[in-house]
Amino acid sequence: MSILVIAEHDNGSLKAATLNTVTAAQKIGGDIHVLVAGHNAAAAAQAAAQIAGVAKVLLADAAHLGHQLAENVTPVVVELARGYSHVLAPATTHGKNLLPRVAALLDVAQISDVIAVESADTFVRPIYAGNVIATVQSSDAIKLMTVRTTAFDAAATGGSATVESIGAGSDAGKSSFVSQELTKSSRPELGAAKIIVSGGRALASSEQFHGVLEPLADKLGAAIGASRAAVDAGYAPNDYQVGQTGKIVAPQLYLAVGISGAIQHLAGMKDSKVIVAINKDEEAPIFQVADYGLVADLFTAVPELIAELNK
């Protein structure tokens, strides 16, 4: 068996998602090759060559691959894919854009968002927004899949694979890149945020509420929420309130800072994936729902936390 991993990169550097995808490939087992398709992408290819466990890096380098348009990358992958048992891409917007196009031309199914590998032909993936986990088996000769990167550790580096240049095809002439706009670093909205830092009455003033929590939120790219007590006391605006009578949120990570964990507050955040509580009272009810609890004074713990994240 040999496995082709499609690298996530921006020509100049390799994206971490590639490392998680290589780990998924290792779970399947077999020779692992990485395709870097881009323009002036030697640096990315070099980085890929250093992933432990990668046998070979294939570099398709041409101007028309510069923006990695699916129309132009697809023929390159299709050409290569016939020599592999598996083709993997990270389930990023790039991987999701590209791989189904390849699958259709190969006349094979694609498996999306794989979170576990059961065997060479059997994989696990979430459906219904993660409310159901399905185990699926593929009977296609070549198995194409996108990999949920958070489900696999990053592969180690320290390898030294060879980099081989391959044919880059030609411009399909159907699409062209116009422009790109990267997201400004302003804080996300509470309802949509992946991470929420939420503060309670313990913050004790509006200045401290913002002064202590904002740097942490900025560090994490998080939205800021509040308990009703904090809102009622005027430390935070109304629309920050999380809870039964405030907003209902379910982020990946909810950090409750100086919040006791009243049932009305829990009603608004108990479906969060991971809950962290920082509270100086070890009996605080918030600890009953927190995945990770830290008994500490928030005024020392939060700055420490920022420092640790900066490391």
Partner 1 sequence: MSYRAPVADIRFVLNELAGLNEVGALPGYEDVNPELADAILEEAAKLAENVIAPLNKVGDQHGNKLSDGIVTTAPGFKSAYQQFSENGWVSLRTPTEFGGQGMPALIAMATEEMWCAANVAFSLCPLLTLGAFEALEHHASDELKATYLPKMASGEWTGTMNLTEPQAGSDLAQVRAKAVPVGDGTYKISGQKIFITWGEHDMVENIVHLVLARLPDAPAGVKGISLFVVPKYLVNADGSLGERNDVSCVSLEHKLGIHASPTCVMSYGDKGGAIGYLVGEAHRGLGYMFTMMNQARLGVGIEGMAIAERAYQQAVAYAKDRVQSRELGSDNPAPAAIIKHADIRRMLMTMKSQIEAQRALTYYAGAALDRAARHPDAAEKQKWQAVVNFLIPIVKGWNTEQVNEITSLGVQIHGGMGFIEETGAAQHLRDARITAIYEGTTGIQAMDLVGRKTASEQGRTARALLAEVEAVAAQLKTQGLAEVGDALDAALVHARASTDFVVGQFEAQPKAVAAGSVPFLKLMGIVLGGWQLGRAALVAKQKLADGDADSAFLEAKLITARFFAVHLLPQVGGLSAAILHGADTVLALPEEAF
Partner 2 sequence: MKILVAVKRVVDYNVKVRCKTDGSDVDVANVKMSMNPFDEIAVEEAVRLKEAGKASEIVVASLGVKQCEETLRTALAMGADRAIHVETDTELQPLAVAKLLKALADKEQPQLVILGKQAIDDDANQTGQMLAALMNAPQGTFASKVELAGDKVNVTREIDGGLETVSLSLPAIVTTDLRLNEPRYVKLPNIMAAKKKPLDKTTPAELGVDAAPRLKTLKVAEPPVRKAGIKVASVAELVAKLKNEAKVI
Ligand X SMILES: Cc1cc2nc3c(=O)[nH]c(=O)nc-3n(C[C@H](O)[C@H](O)[C@H](O)COP(=O)(O)OP(=O)(O)OC[C@H]3O[C@@H](n4cnc5c(N)ncnc54)[C@H](O)[C@@H]3O)c2cc1C
Q: Residue numbers of the site for ligand X (CB under 6 A)? A: 200-202, 227-230, 241, 243-246, 258-260, 262, 264-265, 268, 279-281, 284, 297-299
Shortest Å, Cβ 287 to partner 1: 17
Q: Confirm or reject binding of residue 21 to partner 2 (CB under 8 A).
A: no
Host H or E run for residue 253? strand 253-257
The number of beta carbons lying within 10 Å of the beta carbon of residue 276 is 18
Identify which range of 21-29, 51-59, 177-185, 229-237 contacts partner 2 by CB under 8 A.
Answer: 177-185
Shortest Å, Cβ 245 to partner 1: 5
Among residues 160, 179, 185, 186, the one that binds partner 2 under rule CB under 8 A? 179
Contacts of 258 (CB under 8 A, 6+ apart): 199, 200, 201, 202, 203, 278, 279, 298
At 127 the three-state DSSP class reads strand
Q: Are strands 116-119 and 122-127 parallel, antiparallel or unpaired?
A: antiparallel
Please give the residues from 253 up to 292 whose contact with partner 2 meets the rule CB under 8 A. Answer: 253, 273-276, 282, 287-292
Q: Which does 202 bind (CB under 5 to 8 A by kind): ligand X, partner 2, partner 1, none?
A: ligand X
Q: Confirm or reject binding of residue 245 to partner 1 (CB under 8 A).
A: yes
Q: Which does 70 bind (CB under 5 to 8 A by kind): partner 2, partner 1, ligand X, none?
A: partner 2
Q: Confirm or reject binding of residue 104 to partner 2 (CB under 8 A).
A: yes
Contacts of 50 (CB under 8 A, 6+ apart): 157, 158, 159, 160, 161
Give the CA angle between residues 254, 292, 212 to the nearest 5°.
55
User: Which of 250, 145, 236 is closest to 196 using CA atoms?
Assistant: 250
If the CB atoms of residues 50 and 244 are measured against partner 1, the closer one turns out to be: 244
Secondary structure letter of residue 1 according to DSSP: -
Q: Which does 241 bind (CB under 5 to 8 A by kind): partner 2, partner 1, ligand X, none?
A: ligand X
Q: Confirm or reject binding of residue 175 to partner 2 (CB under 8 A).
A: yes
Q: Confirm or reject binding of residue 288 to partner 1 (CB under 8 A).
A: no
The number of beta carbons lying within 10 Å of the beta carbon of residue 130 is 10
Please give the residues from 234 up to 253 whose contact with partner 2 meets the rule CB under 8 A. Answer: 252-253
